[in-house]
């Protein structure tokens, strides 16, 4: 065997070992990340005394579905679930549309003040949400939007992150395609809806996932503006399991286990586009 | 593969939602059902504070008000149903909140015109709420005639809320461990010396390793010992001016020394044996803990396997200045920014709540608090709750210092942690706590009401 061949084998061997080690590390990290979720899932089938017991076991020693059956004792779980789904879908669709539209304008149109406008959009991402929450509450109160989904949907329709992300993504699309469409007689409305939208699906997927997740798990704002029980969202309902002196962990885990299903579904459906979208937004300037 | 995963998840969703749907039947009925079944009184009822159901509210015209609360919807709905049955023109919309964030949302809402007319109050948030409260439209002397501790709530001759119940600390013990140690009901300790002896008997060790703690006060010593036992030795928590803390006294040092000796000399427990005494007791690792009334409910709902008993907190000499500190569970607050007609309903509702013995008992049983309503002090239903019946003989020997700023708890907690974990001597730790409380209270308007104690020196 020649020296070159041996060297090649050694490099191959090293690559294989490196690959195995890397995979083992990733599996371990994956398990560490997923374990609390698995523990919560199994604990949702335990009684509270077992969840709080000194000796902890992953699997329930006395299997019970009571936590799932009794979830509704505190609030109408399915009603809250449906409310959350409605608000989240509406907000996500609105953000996807407005972000793509603004991203298209900011990346493909040249006009005076474009950079200032974009800087303004970016600056909205830099202000901590807790600073704006009280003025936002006062505005909603003076508009008479309290206890209405208008308070949840309208202020959330524009996302600085979404606009930034879509501007970066749409900037990667060749101008020549748009020019060709214009030469063929397409108007801007057509170009946006029939060319930009389909070509930006990776970016759209990534902001759709982010926005869906953020809206789905948003707690404080919906809690502050919604009073009527029948309109309340699931993230607020989950908090109801934590009382002044104790927490009903079993019911909380059962409700949480169900509440994460839509998020999982969205991620599974869009994961390929999500990864591609995040990667493209990250590398293009 | 992707299809399979999706199908599995969809199946899981359907199964889970079906299960959750099964539970909907467990929900209690809304106001209408309850109102229909409520026993509607027609004659005035109550002790000195009387409620006359024949008086029309809002001239009989329809009106809706909101009641914000945390906790059990059923409990509040019962009272609302009873009230709405008398006044069908009034709709009280119940808004349930999570305890922690209620205190963020409530002041925001009360600041505007659309806040709730009626809301649940906890005296630990007194300073945040007092500027939004309307005084109760009930003569002070009537309230004082019916309820204990009213005078401590008087501000410039007005009362904004009072206590419907009093909660304090008692000793919870594991009956099985008690029996296994050869102890009987006659061994229930009356003094701290007896308590230490009993705790020694209940302690089990395997060599140097603690297997069962006789007494566990981990994470509790500040709340359940340092802020209460001082009264047994004749010290208030605040000096005569009502603002200067009194936590670095000889008596406080004596209490801290007793706690240290229990763990380090008697060996009945350890700072490392369970993070929280309350959980350790529930997990069957500790034989005794001192906990406040709410623990009775926790044991009955979470730690259902524990066969427990409860007895009154021991004293140093059998004749304490006071047995312990108590804290009140407060009656509803009325929003002074609400429209006048809503405030009128709120005033009427609070009077109904105070005059209604059934509601008073229900609230006290739910919270495991001793009724502040004097006529209910020996109520049969209340006496069936052992965590309340043990307080009956000496309930007038418990002190409420007022809505203390949280620095009292946090500073003494730090002092205890410094002593147990950081090797700081007791004198230094308590002096630091004293300084820290003085510093933190500079911006507080708190003034102690310890001088209003019935047997104040």
Mean pLDDT of B320-345: 97
Tokens representing A12? 């191959």
- Tell me which of A54-58, A153-157, B80-84, B271-275 is least confident: A54-58
Q: What is the pLDDT of residues B132-178, one digit of tens each?
A: 999 999 999 999 999 999 999 999 999 999 999 999 999 999 999 99
pLDDT above 80 (res B352): yes
Burial class, A48, CB count within 10 angstroms (exposed 0-12 / middle 13-18 / buried 19+) = buried
Q: Strand ranges (DSSP E) for B270-394?
A: 288-292, 308-311, 324-330, 333-334, 370-371
Residue A242: C-alpha distances to residues B97, B98, B172, B363, B373 (Å): 10, 7, 24, 19, 29
Using the Cβ of B380 and the Cβ atoms of chain A, whether some distance falls under 8 Å is answered with: no
Chain B residues whose beta carbon lies within 8 Å of the beta carbon of residue A252: none
Report the pLDDT value the prediction gives residue A277, as an integer from 0 to 100: 65
Q: Strand ranges (DSSP E) for B260-301?
A: 288-292
pLDDT above 70 (res B19): no
B173, containing H or E segment: strand B163-174
Q: Could you tell me the CATH superfamily of domain B167-327+398-452?
A: Periplasmic binding protein-like II (3.40.190.10)
- Residue A194 CB contacts under 8 Å (≥ 6 apart), including other chains: A186
Mean pLDDT of B214-235: 95
Please answer yes or no on whether B294 and A227 come within 8 Å at the CB atom: no
Tokens representing B450? 């310890």
Using the Cβ of A257 and the Cβ atoms of chain B, whether some distance falls under 8 Å is answered with: yes
Please answer yes or no on whether B283 and A52 come within 8 Å at the CB atom: yes
pLDDT tier for residue B82 given thresholds of 50, 70 and 90: very high
Question: For residues A205 and A199, what is the distance between their CA atoms, to the nearest angstrom?
Answer: 11
Q: How far is A245 from chain B (nearest CA, A)?
A: 7
- Whats the size of chain A, residue-wise? 285
Question: For residues A282 and B259, what is the distance between their CA atoms, to the nearest angstrom?
Answer: 59
**Cα torsion through B15, B20, B21, B24, rounded to 10:** 170
Query: Coil, helix or strand for B95?
Result: strand
Tokens representing A246? 């104790």
Look up tokens 């079944």; give the residue. Answer: B37
CATH fold label, A75-283: MetI-like fold (1.10.3720)
Report the pLDDT value the prediction gives residue B112, as an integer from 0 to 100: 82
Q: How far is B446 from chain A (nearest CA, A)?
A: 23
> ipTM of the assembly?
0.79
- Tell me which of A174-188, B10-24, B312-326 is least confident: B10-24
Tokens representing A216? 């789905």
A residues 167-196 lying closer than 8 A (beta carbon) to B: none
B165, containing H or E segment: strand B163-174
Q: The pTM is what?
A: 0.84
Q: Could you tell me the CATH superfamily of domain B30-162+331-355?
A: Periplasmic binding protein-like II (3.40.190.10)
Using the Cβ of B180 and the Cβ atoms of chain A, whether some distance falls under 8 Å is answered with: no
A135 alpha carbon, distance to own chain's centre: 25
Query: Coil, helix or strand for B93?
Result: strand
Report the pLDDT value the prediction gives residue A129, as an integer from 0 to 100: 85
Longest Cα separation, chain B:
80
Residue in B397, B257, B170, B315 with CA at minimum distance from that of residue B249: B257
Helix/strand/coil percent split, chain B, to 5: 50, 15, 35
Q: Compute φ and ψ for B364, nearest 5 degrees.
A: -70, -40
- Residue A82 CB contacts under 8 Å (≥ 6 apart), including other chains: none
Tokens representing B197? 């002896």
Report the pLDDT value the prediction gives residue A280, as an integer from 0 to 100: 63
Residues of chain B within CATH 3.40.190.10 domain(s) are 30-162+331-355, 167-327+398-452
pLDDT above 50 (res B70): yes
Using the Cβ of A212 and the Cβ atoms of chain B, whether some distance falls under 8 Å is answered with: no
Tokens representing A206? 């990534």
Mean pLDDT of B274-297: 95
Report the pLDDT value the prediction gives residue A1, as an integer from 0 to 100: 62
Strand order in the sheet with B63-70: B90-97, B63-70, B118-119, B333-334
Question: For residues B132 and B52, what is the distance between their CA atoms, to the nearest angstrom?
Answer: 28
Residue of B98, B107, B108, B306 for testing the chain A interface, max A β-carbons within 10 Å: B98
**Are B94 and B69 a contacting pair, CB within 8 Å?**
yes
Q: How far is A122 from chain B (nearest CA, A)?
A: 29
- Going by DSSP bridges, is the β-strand pair B50-51/B45-46 parallel, antiparallel, or unpaired? antiparallel
Using the Cβ of B277 and the Cβ atoms of chain A, whether some distance falls under 8 Å is answered with: no
Report the pLDDT value the prediction gives residue B21, as an integer from 0 to 100: 42
Q: Compute φ and ψ for B168, nearest 5 degrees.
A: -150, 180
Predicted confidence pLDDT, tens digits, chain A (285 residues): 677 778 888 888 899 999 999 999 999 999 999 999 999 999 999 988 888 887 888 999 889 998 988 877 767 888 999 999 999 999 999 999 999 999 999 999 999 999 999 999 999 989 888 889 999 999 999 999 999 999 999 999 999 999 999 999 999 999 999 999 999 999 999 999 999 999 998 899 989 999 999 999 999 999 999 999 899 999 999 988 887 777 888 989 999 999 989 888 888 887 777 777 666 655 544
Tokens representing B80? 């609302």
Please answer yes or no on whether A70 and B22 come within 8 Å at the CB atom: no
- Going by DSSP bridges, is the β-strand pair B333-334/B118-119 parallel, antiparallel, or unpaired? antiparallel
- In sequence order, the β-bridge partners of residue B50 are B46
Chain A residues whose beta carbon lies within 8 Å of the beta carbon of residue B26: 69-70, 72-73
Alpha helices in B268-316 (DSSP H): 277-282, 294-301
Report the pLDDT value the prediction gives residue A279, as an integer from 0 to 100: 65
Question: For residues B391 and B379, what is the distance between their CA atoms, to the nearest angstrom?
Answer: 13
B residues 207-266 lying closer than 8 A (beta carbon) to A: none
Interchain CB contacts (distance < 8 Å): A and B: 118
B residues 295-334 lying closer than 8 A (beta carbon) to A: 295, 297-298, 301-305
Residue in A229, A198, A240, A234 with CA at minimum distance from that of residue A88: A234
Q: What is the pLDDT of residues B43-67, one digit of tens each?
A: 999 999 999 999 999 999 999 999 9
Residue in B293, B367, B375 with CA at minimum distance from that of residue B331: B367
pLDDT above 60 (res B97): yes
Report the pLDDT value the prediction gives residue A52, as an integer from 0 to 100: 84
pLDDT above 50 (res B441): yes
Question: For residues B199 and A195, what is the distance between their CA atoms, to the nearest angstrom?
Answer: 79
Report the pLDDT value the prediction gives residue A22, as an integer from 0 to 100: 95
Report the pLDDT value the prediction gives residue A283, as an integer from 0 to 100: 52
């Amino acid at each position: 065997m020649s020296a070159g061949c041996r060297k090649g084998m050694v490099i191959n061997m090293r690559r294989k070992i490196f690959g195995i080690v890397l995979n083992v590390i990733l599996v371990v990290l994956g398990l560490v990340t997923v374990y609390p979720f698995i523990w919560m899932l199994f604990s949702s089938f335990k009684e509270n005394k077992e969840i709080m017991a000194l000796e902890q076991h992953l699997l329930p020693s006395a299997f019970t579905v009571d936590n799932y059956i009794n979830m509704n004792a505190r609030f109408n779980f399915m009603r809250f679930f449906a409310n959350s789904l409605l608000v989240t879908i509406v907000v996500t669709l609105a953000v996807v549309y407005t972000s793509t539209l603004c991203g298209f304008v900011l990346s493909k149109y040249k006009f005076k003040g474009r950079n200032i406008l974009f800087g303004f959009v970016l600056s909205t991402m830099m202000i901590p949400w807790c600073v704006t929450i009280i003025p936002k509450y006062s505005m909603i109160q003076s508009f008479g939007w309290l206890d209405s989904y208008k308070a949840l949907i309208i202020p959330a329709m524009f996302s600085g992150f979404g606009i930034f992300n879509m501007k970066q993504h749409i900037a990667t699309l060749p101008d020549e395609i748009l020019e060709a469409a214009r030469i063929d007689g397409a108007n801007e409305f057509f170009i946006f809806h029939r060319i930009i939208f389909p070509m930006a699906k990776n970016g759209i997927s990534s902001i759709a996932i982010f926005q869906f997740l953020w809206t789905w798990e948003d707690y404080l704002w919906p809690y502050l503006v919604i009073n009527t029980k029948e309109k309340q969202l699931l993230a607020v309902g989950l908090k109801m399991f934590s009382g002044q002196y104790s927490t009903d962990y079993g019911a909380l885990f059962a409700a949480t286990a169900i509440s994460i299903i839509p998020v999982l579904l969205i991620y599974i459906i869009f994961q390929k586009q999500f990864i591609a979208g995040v990667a493209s937004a990250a590398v293009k300037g | 593969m992707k299809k399979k995963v999706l199908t599995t998840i969809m199946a899981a969703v359907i199964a889970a939602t079906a299960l959750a749907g099964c539970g909907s039947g467990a929900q209690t009925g809304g106001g209408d059902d309850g109102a229909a079944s409520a026993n509607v009184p027609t004659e005035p009822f109550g002790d000195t504070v009387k409620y006359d159901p024949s008086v029309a509210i809002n001239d009989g015209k329809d009106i809706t008000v909101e009641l914000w609360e945390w906790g059990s919807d059923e409990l509040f709905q019962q009272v609302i149903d009873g009230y709405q049955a008398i006044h069908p023109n009034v709709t009280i919309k119940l808004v349930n909140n999570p305890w922690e964030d209620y205190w963020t949302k409530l002041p925001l809402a009360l600041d505007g015109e659309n806040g709730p007319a009626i809301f649940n109050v906890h005296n630990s948030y007194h300073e945040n709420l007092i500027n939004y409260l309307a005084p109760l439209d009930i003569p002070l002397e009537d309230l004082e005639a019916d309820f204990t501790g009213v005078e401590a709530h008087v501000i410039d001759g007005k009362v904004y809320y009072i206590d419907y119940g009093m909660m304090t600390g008692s000793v919870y013990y594991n009956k099985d461990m008690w029996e296994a140690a050869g102890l009987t009901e006659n061994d229930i300790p009356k003094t701290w010396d007896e308590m230490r002896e009993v705790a020694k008997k209940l302690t089990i060790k395997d060599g140097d390793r603690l297997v069962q703690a006789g007494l566990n006060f981990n994470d509790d010593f500040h709340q359940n010992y340092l802020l209460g036992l001082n009264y047994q030795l004749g010290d208030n928590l605040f000096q005569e001016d009502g603002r200067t803390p009194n936590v670095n006294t000889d008596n406080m040092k004596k209490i801290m020394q007793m706690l240290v000796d229990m763990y380090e000399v008697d060996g009945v427990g350890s700072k490392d044996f369970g993070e929280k005494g309350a959980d350790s007791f529930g997990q069957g690792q500790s034989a005794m803990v001192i906990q406040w009334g709410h623990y009775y409910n926790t044991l009955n709902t979470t730690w259902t396997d524990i066969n427990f008993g409860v007895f009154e907190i021991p004293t140093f000499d059998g004749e304490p200045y006071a047995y312990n500190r108590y804290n009140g569970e407060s009656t509803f607050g009325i929003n002074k920014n609400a429209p006048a007609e809503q405030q009128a309903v709120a005033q009427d509702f609070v009077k109904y709540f105070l005059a209604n013995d059934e509601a008073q008992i229900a609230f006290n049983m739910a919270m495991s608090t001793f009724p502040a309503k004097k006529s209910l002090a020996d109520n049969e239903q209340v006496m069936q709750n052992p965590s309340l019946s043990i307080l009956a003989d000496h309930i007038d020997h418990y002190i409420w210092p007022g809505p203390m700023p949280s620095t009292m708890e946090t500073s003494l907690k730090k002092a205890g942690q410094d002593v147990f974990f950081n090797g700081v001597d007791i004198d230094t730790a308590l002096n630091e706590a004293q300084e820290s409380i003085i510093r933190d209270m500079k911006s507080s308007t708190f003034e102690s009401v310890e001088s209003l104690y019935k047997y104040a020196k």
